Structures are given as C-alpha cells and as structure tokens.
Structure 1
Amino acid sequence: MTVRIGMITPSSNTVLEPLSAEILTALPDVTAHVARLRVTTISTEGDALAQFAPEAFYPAADLLADANVHVMGWNGTSPAWMGFAGDEALAAALSDRFEVATTSAVIAVNQLLRLFGARRIAFVSPYVDAVQERILKVYAAAGYECVAERHRGISVNYDFALIDEETIWADLEAVAEARPDAVVVMCTNMRGARLAERFEAAFDIPLIDTVSAFLWGALDAAGADPSPITGWGRLFSMRSGSA
C-alpha cells in the first residue's frame, strides 16, 4: 500500500526526519515528507506559545498538500502543554481543508495510551520546569496519574537533539522504578526511539516515543498496517480499536 505521510515539523528539529526514514525502511511503499514551521524556543512565555498559533500551520500544510500526501499532521508536542483541544481542532481543520486523513504526535500518543490501557504514566522530556509542569497538569486533567518524570531544563529546541541516548536511557531507568503502565518520551527532537526495544526488554513497560508514535498514528489513520516495523518497540504491533 503506497502511503505518503506529510509531517509539519518544527524548523529547528534535526531528529525526527532521519529517525522517521530509518523506522520506515521496513515499509518501502511508505514515504515521509516534511514542511517546516518556525520553532526555536520552548517555554511558557507568550512569544514561545505564539509560535503555535493555529494560523501558523497552514502555510506548511499547503506545501504538503502539493505533494498529494495521504495523511498529514503536526509532528511536534506543543499540545502536551497547551492542551489537547487545539490539536484536535487543527487535525479536523486540516482534514476538512485538504480532504486527507490527519493525526498528530500527541493525538497518537494519547491513542496509544488508551490502547495500552495505561493510566499510571511517566514522562521523559528535555523541557524546562514550567513546560514540564504544564504537561503534567494537562495529562492529570485528562485522568492520568503521573507517577514519575524526568526533564532536562533546556529551552532551545535545537539543543534537544544534542542529548545523547545514554543520558535519555538514564532518565528512562529512573522513571521505570515507579512501575508506570507506560513511559512517554515527550519530544520529537529527542533520540528516544532507538531505545524502545532495549527498554521494553529490560522493564516490560511500553515505551511511547513521540517520533514513533506520529508514524504509527499516520499509518493507522491511512489504513496501513504498521506491524512490519519491528525493532522499534511494541507500539507498532498495535492497531486502533484493539489492545
């Protein structure tokens, strides 16, 4: 099944494109295509939040539509601290405007949390205190209990990609001690995806990395089977409507 995935991507993100290409090698008829939205700083300040105004997404989406993508969406995690409603509204608006299936990184994370039956969750992120606190509040309001978290206190989006995998692994080990139902790596510019198999083998806890989650959500929305993707964690064995 030929599927072209359109990803609206933070401009300073250097992780998700190469990782997405690597993950999709198991599906030679699926390709990922990117248009960028200017994002340089992550904080709760007004200028940083304004980067994610709804109208900012449409120029990138218009360009992706030129490639006749089958599914498109926001491959960033701002809805985790700004709230889910705007993300869901954007996905619906893109679907209506371009007549394509839509998803987002956070929509897919939330779908996977439901499929895994996860209520007690843990987060690993690169963000500053204020952003991480908002993430915990957003998920608490949605009925989740955060039992552990680690964050790195960084606000420059480009710098998230400089966090090495062993540092991320140390944070994953730390949150695993609380035995959550699932762990979320909440950042599409963080190198968590390759650690999923190792983590799940070591702790028997699902790891939901946001780069992987977006691809899973895009494939699922397009009606494509993600299960040929192996070695990247158990999330690719999941299908919507089945646990």
Structure 2
Amino acid sequence: MSGSPAFPSLRPKYRAAIGMITPSANLVVERVTCAILSDFPEVSPHFSRTPVFGARDLFPDDYDWDGMLAAAHLLAQARPDVIVWNGSKGATLGFATDRELCRRVTDETGIPATTSSLALEAALGSLGARRIAVVAPYAGDYQNKLVAGFEREGLEVVAEAHPGIADNLDYAAVPDADIAAMIRDVATAQPDAILTWCTNFPAAYVVDTLERELDIPILDSVTLAVWHGLDMVGRADPRGRRWGRLFDGPTP
C-alpha cells in the first residue's frame, strides 16, 4: 500500500473560539449559543460556570468576583479569542460594573471580554433606541430592581411584563406561548426595542417570528452575548438572521 489513507472531511475548519461564562443553574445559554453557532461553523463555543442558583442571590449588590474570575481563568487555559459573561445581572448592578468585570478579566488573562449588558448597550446605541419594554421571568421585587437599573442607564422603560418566578432554574421552563404573550402585551406601548432579559429565559426561539409580526426589534440577552462575541472576533454577519434582525448589521 502506498500513500496516506483518505479521511472524510468531518472536522470543521475552526477560525475562532468564544469562551462563555454562564450561571451554574442555567440550562439556556449553552443550548442557544450552540444553536446560533451552528450557523457559524468556523467558531467554536467553550463554557465555564460560576455559582448562581436557587431563589436567593448570595451577592445581591455585586458580583462574586472570586467565582467569576476563577471561571474566566479556566476558560483562558484554552486561549479563546474572547471571553463573554453570558449573564444578565449587570443590568441591575450598572453597566460600569460590567466594564470593570471586563477590565479585570482582560488584565488577568490577556483576553478581550464582554457581557450581555455591554452587548445590549452596543445594540441599543446602534439602533438609536432609548424607549424600551422589558420582558423577564422574575419575581416582582427583582423585576423592579431590573427596571430601576435600566432607568439609571438613561433608558425609558415604557412597559414591562414578568410571570413572577423566583427560582433561577425554573426560568428555563417558561413556555414559548407565555413568552410570546408577554412580548405582544408590551409591544402595545410601541417601544423602540423590546428586551427579553435573563440568560436562563428561553426567549431566543421566538424572537425572529415576533419581530416579523410586530415590526419592533427584540433584543434577547443570550443572543446579544453571542452576537457581541461574534462581532469581537469579526464573524457577526447575516448568517445568524434566523435569530433576529440583530444579525442584519452593520455591527457597531
């Protein structure tokens, strides 16, 4: 026998890697990230977790910095091109806190970083949107905290809807029909954009259909994080259009 055996071309030609930090009780981030990146086969996703679970936040007014940076260091061992905190808490802490998180991650790992909240900031700036409606799975007290956080960032919250769920894991079980009903309800206020906010809230799957129905941009927190990570590695483009008009471009 001569020559080398021929192998089928099954191995993708990866060009970039995105590292994702996700809350420990989250079932949605990995599912949606992998689904979106199936349209970007040259980009591979890699995941690490930080403790966020149950109905009580042990760090209600800050991040668990040790847990967050430990997750980032584990991802950094694989040398991804960007590290993304795919979590929504920054909207209650303030976007400046997420900028500080990214600074610390980059200082300690040498890898650029972003978050769902900073992706939202970029997307709203690109759209010129200031009047928003917020759909999230939270209980009333946390929903109020979230709305107040957006308002501190200079956004006008013209409508909101939430089913009143307290346990982090249960957010992932909200049915599509319930999510769609809440989105249609807040759309009557005619916001510049609707936010589906919580990275364990499976709203990404209904975004494209409802954007076409309502003609209002819908910005999902998980999708935003993936989109911004793709943008940072130069790969965000209309291949992701089935996940919403966010992928129409141009990116900010």
Residue among 180, 184, 202 paired with 1:169: 180
The CA distance in 1 between the partners of 2:116 and 2:240, in whole Å, is 18
TM-score (norm 1): 0.93
Deviation at 1:225, TM superposition (A): 3.0
The CA distance in 2 between the partners of 1:41 and 1:237, in whole Å, is 37
The CA distance in 2 between the partners of 1:48 and 1:183, in whole Å, is 28
> Among the aligned pairs, what percent are the same residue?
36
Correspondence for 1:2: 15
Instruction: Give CA-to-partner distance per residue, 1:75-112, whole Å, 9 cap, x none.
Output: 11111112222111011111122222211011101111
Distance 1:237 1:154, change over 3 A: same
Which structure 1 segments of 5+ residues have no match? none
Q: Secondary structure at the match of 1:8?
A: strand
Deviation at 1:174, TM superposition (A): 0.3
Residue among 33, 41, 45 paired with 2:54: 41
Residue type of the partner of 1:140?
A: E
Distance 1:42 1:210, change over 3 A: farther
Instruction: Give CA-to-partner distance per residue, 1:186-233, whole Å, 9 cap, x none.
Output: 011111111111111111000100111001111112222332212110
The CA distance in 2 between the partners of 1:42 and 1:53, in whole Å, is 16
Distance 1:240 1:97, change over 3 A: farther
Correspondence for 1:180: 191
Correspondence for 1:21: 34
Residue type of the partner of 1:62?
A: H
The CA distance in 2 between the partners of 1:42 and 1:62, in whole Å, is 27
Deviation at 1:16, TM superposition (A): 1.2
Aligned residues: 239
Residue type of the partner of 1:110?
A: E
TM-score (norm 2): 0.90
Which structure 2 segments of 5+ residues have no match? 1-13
Which 4+ stretches in 1 moved above 6 angstroms? none
The CA distance in 2 between the partners of 1:54 and 1:227, in whole Å, is 35
Asked if the contact 1:123–1:185 (Cα under 8 Å) also holds between the matched residues in 2, the reply is yes
Deviation at 1:240, TM superposition (A): 3.7
The CA distance in 2 between the partners of 1:136 and 1:218, in whole Å, is 25
The CA distance in 1 between the partners of 2:211 and 2:68, in whole Å, is 35
CA RMSD of aligned residues (A): 1.6
The CA distance in 2 between the partners of 1:155 and 1:56, in whole Å, is 22
The CA distance in 2 between the partners of 1:158 and 1:28, in whole Å, is 29
Matches within 5 A, 1:1-243: 2-41=15-54, 47-49=58-60, 52-241=63-252
Distance 1:2 1:211, change over 3 A: same
Distance 1:235 1:36, change over 3 A: same
Residue type of the partner of 1:174?
A: D
Residue type of the partner of 2:22?
A: T
* Larger CA Rg, structure 1 vs 2: 2
The CA distance in 2 between the partners of 1:226 and 1:33, in whole Å, is 20
